[in-house]
Structures are given as C-alpha cells and as structure tokens.
C-alpha cells in the first residue's frame, strides 16, 4: 500500500475498533473516502480490499455501495492488521537502572537505531522495570497494539516465579513480531519469539581456555554465597567446567568456591597462599562486581593479581575499569546489528513465519589480572 492507502486503511481500522462503526454496519463508500482523504477512489478501493481479504469487511458491490463490517478483530488480530500500515517498534526495557548500563547502552543502541532509521522504522521506548503484575502487562500490550506498534523488542531482567512472564506465551497472545534480547537470565530458546542472546555458556568456556593457555593448574569458579542460582550463573560454571575438561582431559582441577561478602574468606586466601608455590591458581569470578571484591580482600591479605593468582571475570563493567580486570565482554555492537537485521526483515516481510534463536559469542578483554 502507498501512504494514502495506509491512512485510509488505518482510519477504517480505528473506526471499527473504537465502535464508531459497529458489527453489520456499513463503512463509507469508496467515493466518500476519496473525498475525505482528498484522493481518488482507487486508493480507497485498495485500502478496503485489504480489509476485505482479512475477513473484516464483506458485501457491497460497486463504487457507490459501502462494505459491511462482518467481524470485529480481537486485540491480536488488530495488531496483525495494523502491521500492514505501521513501521513502529517499541522497546520494553525491564532492566533495573543499577545494571542497565551493562547490556543496554550506546554500544548496542547506536547500531540498532541507525539500522532502523535507515529502513524508515520508528523506534519508541517504554521503561517497564517496575511492572511486575500480569494485569498491568496486559493493559500495556493492548495499548501498544491499539497504537499500531509493528513489533516489540523485550530487554528482560530475569524470570521470577509469580512474575507476569512466568507465562511465556503472554506476549504471543497479543503480538506475532516479538524479539527478545536475552542476557543469559532464562532459557528462551523454546519460546515462540525470535531471540538474540549472549552465549553465557561460551563465556565460561572462553574464561577456562584462557587460564589453561596461561598455564594455570587449578581453577576455581567463585560466586557469592547464598546467591540465587540463576541461569547465567549456572551456564558460566558449566561452560568453564566442561571447557577445561575438554581442553585438558581432566588434568586441570576445576572447583567451586562460595564467596561470603560478610567474612574474610580465609579458606580461599589460605588456598592462594599455601598452593601458590606448588600450583598456579586461577580464579574465575562470576562477574566484575565479585572480582573487584576479591581483589580488595586479597590485597588486605598481602596478595596481588596476577603475581599470586590469576583472575578472570565477566561483563566488562565500566564501574570497575580501574581494577584492570581481565574480563569476558558481551559483543554488544554485534548484538545490536543482529537485532536490527531481524526487525528489518520482519518489517519488510522477509523470512515470514520464521523464528530465529541466535547466540552471540562474547569477547575476551585481556588486562592485568591474568
């Protein structure tokens, strides 16, 4: 459809959805619509035909006879119909402000916005970090569909029991073009959405391979004590464990250490001091926050990195740049480009009906701690 046809199409949908034109009532004729939009009746004809093909309108032969509304679209059907006349995507950002800088920053936003702008796709943002009940979510999705949002991009904090996304098909009920940037918090690959994910298992493999190549003979994965066993934590551990096992055939010992923020962690410090002379120890902190705490505690005990042990962490958190951490960083620019590719393909109706699940490898940033 051209722009004027889209305007007429959207106008008719709005009239039907709002109830101003009700079931079994006639819509304006092609001639009346042509006069209203200051165009020829052929543009009105094309817009009406599009709604007729979808089963919304029927009857009324000839240019002077209006079609009749034979079906009121559901919210999902309304969204599907509006996609034909809309190129607007809404980013639903569920990340807490305190961690938003890690995975939703200019590195990912700039290539995404640039690609969408080049393809005449409007991008709008909604912060949903405080939205945790299913009724609020439903109202929001109905609002987005009614506003003609063509696609939804979800930046998800995590999956908690009782949260509205405990029902993974909720978005699917309202919209077909749903894309997820999965930061390692939950296993989305079997859900009915297209997904671009950080390969958190691969991050663990990468950290282990690096320490093995540097000659470390014992490797410990460190995570806070009593922390909720989230998907990203488990996958980083699994990647580290199986990666080292594959690379060394079991010759390098891999273990876990639960780090207690409230204590001095004498067991770990003692291991570093006592084993330092006989075996090179490498630590893998579950994230940069913990790595910084380990460095502070070990410094108080007279231990330094990499002299007394090696240390690798994850996230490349700019808040801890002064620690010179060797860290595994998500490839945010590449993720932004891949998200844009999927969204543009959907807007242009390429690869229709396909759902993609892409895992993007992270990048090792070598600094001073290993």
**CATH code of the domain containing 60:** 1.10.10.10
Does 369 reside within a domain? no
Answer for the pair 157, 129: CB distance below 8 angstroms, yes or no.
yes
- 128: pLDDT confidence band, cut at 50, 70 and 90? confident
In this structure, the chain runs to a length of: 370
**Domain check: are 47 and 112 in the same one?**
no
| Domain encompassing residue 123 | 86-198+333-361
CATH classification at residue 102? 3.40.50.2300
137 lies in a domain?
yes
Res 215 pLDDT > 90: yes
Question: Rounded distance, CA 257 to CA 222, Å?
Answer: 5
Domain count of the fold of the chain: 3
Same-domain pairing of 189 and 338:
yes
Distance of CA 275 to the CA centre of its chain: 42
Burial class of residue 223, CB neighbours in 10 A (0-12, 13-18, 19+): buried
**Which of 18, 47, 73 finishes a domain?**
73
245-254: long-range pairs with CB below 8 Å, 24+ = 247/208, 247/209, 247/212, 248/212, 252/212, 252/216, 252/217, 252/218, 252/219, 253/217, 253/218, 253/219, 254/208, 254/219, 254/220, 254/221
List all residues 6 or more positions away from 252 whose beta carbon is below 8 Å from its beta carbon.
212, 216, 217, 218, 219, 244
Burial class (CB in 10 A: 0-12, 13-18, 19+), 296: exposed
**Contact (Cβ atoms closer than 8 angstroms) between residue 234 and residue 271:** no
Looking at the structure, tell me whether residues 217 and 239 fall in a common domain.
yes
- What are the phi and psi torsion angles at 233 (to 5°)? -70, -45
What are 334-369's pLDDT values in tens digits? Answer: 999 999 999 999 888 787 778 888 999 999 999 999
Say if CB 150 and CB 87 are below 8 A apart: yes
Same domain, 51 and 69: yes
Choice between 164 and 3, residue whose per-residue pLDDT is larger? 3
pLDDT average, residue stretch 197-216 = 96
Residue 171 CA to its chain's centroid (Å) = 14
Same domain, 325 and 210: yes
Helix (H, G, I), strand (E, B) or coil at 222: strand
Say if residue 321 is in the same domain as residue 215: yes
State mean pLDDT over 239-253: 95
Of the pLDDT bands very low, low, confident and very high (cuts 50, 70, 90), residue 264 is low
My answer on whether 317 and 215 are in the same domain is: yes
47 within domain boundaries: yes
Query: Which residue, 178, 198, 188, is CA-closest to 90?
Result: 178
Q: pTM score, two decimals?
A: 0.83
Q: What is the pLDDT of residue 162?
A: 45
Contacts of 245 (CB under 8 A, 6+ apart): 254
| Residues 285-299 pLDDT 10s | 999 999 999 999 899
Residues 352 and 316 placed together within one structural domain of the fold:
no
Residue 31 lies in a domain: yes
Which of 104, 176, 166 lies closest to 333 in space, CA to CA?
Answer: 104
- Residue 314 has φ and ψ, to the nearest 5°, of -135, 155
Residue 26 DSSP one-character state: B
Question: Do 136 and 158 reside in the same domain of the chain?
Answer: yes
Please report whether residue 79 resides in a domain: no
Over range 69-95, report the average pLDDT. 83
The tens digit of pLDDT for each residue in 52-72 reads: 888 899 876 555 566 899 988
pLDDT of residue 284: 97
Among the listed residues 195, 196, 190, 76, the one whose alpha carbon sits nearest the alpha carbon of residue 144:
76
Name the residue with higher pLDDT: 8 or 157: 8
- What is the rounded CA–CA span in Å between residue 42 and residue 19? 26
Quick check: is 275 in a domain? Answer: yes
* Together in a domain, 54 and 92: no
What HEC string does 91-151 produce? EEECCCHHHHHHHCCHHHHHHHHHHHHHCCCEEEEEECCCCCCHHHHHHHHHHHHHCCCCE
231 and 309 fall within a common domain: yes
**Pair (208, 255) in one structural domain:** yes
Residue 133 lies in a domain: yes
CA distance 109 to 138: 26
Q: How far is CA 350 from CA 5, 54, 81, 88, 313, in A?
A: 22, 20, 17, 17, 39
Asked if residue 263 belongs to a domain, the reply is: yes
């Amino acid at each position: 459809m051209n722009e004027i046809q889209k305007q007429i199409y959207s106008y008719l949908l709005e009239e039907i959805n709002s109830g101003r034109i009700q079931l079994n009532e006639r819509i304006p004729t092609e001639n009346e619509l042509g006069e209203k939009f200051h165009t020829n009746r052929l543009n009105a004809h094309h817009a009406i035909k599009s709604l007729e093909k979808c089963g919304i309108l029927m009857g009324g032969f000839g240019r002077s006879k209006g079609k009749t509304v034979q079906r009121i679209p559901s919210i999902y059907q309304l969204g599907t119909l509006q996609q034909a006349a809309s190129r607007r995507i809404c980013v639903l950002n569920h990340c807490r402000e305190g961690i938003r800088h890690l995975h939703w920053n200019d590195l990912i936003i700039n290539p995404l916005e640039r690609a969408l702008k080049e393809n005449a796709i409007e991008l709008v943002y909604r912060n949903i970090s405080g939205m945790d009940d299913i009724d609020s979510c439903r109202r929001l999705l109905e609002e987005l569909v009614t506003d003609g949002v063509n696609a939804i991009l979800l930046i998800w904090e995590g999956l908690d029991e009782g949260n509205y996304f405990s029902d993974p098909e909720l978005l699917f009920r309202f919209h077909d073009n749903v894309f997820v940037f999965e930061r390692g918090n939950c296993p989305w690959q079997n859900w009915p959405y297209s997904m671009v994910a950080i390969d958190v298992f691969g991050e663990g493999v990468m950290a282990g391979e690096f320490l093995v190549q540097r000659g470390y003979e014992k490797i410990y994965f460190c995570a806070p004590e009593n922390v909720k066993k989230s998907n990203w934590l488990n996958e980083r551990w699994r990647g580290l464990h199986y990666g080292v096992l594959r690379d060394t055939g079991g010759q390098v010992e891999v273990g876990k250490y639960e780090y207690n923020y409230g204590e001095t962690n004498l067991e770990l410090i003692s291991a570093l001091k006592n084993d330092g002379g006989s075996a090179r120890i490498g630590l893998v902190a579950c994230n940069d926050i913990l790595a910084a705490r380990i460095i502070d505690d070990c410094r108080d005990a007279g231990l330094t990195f990499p002299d007394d042990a090696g240390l690798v962490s994850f996230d490349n958190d700019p808040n801890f740049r002064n620690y010179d951490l060797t860290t595994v960083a998500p490839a945010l620019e590449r993720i932004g480009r891949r998200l844009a590719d999927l969204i543009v393909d959907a807007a242009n109706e390429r690869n229709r009906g396909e759902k993609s699940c892409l895992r993007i490898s992270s990048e090792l940033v070598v600094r001073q701690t290993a």
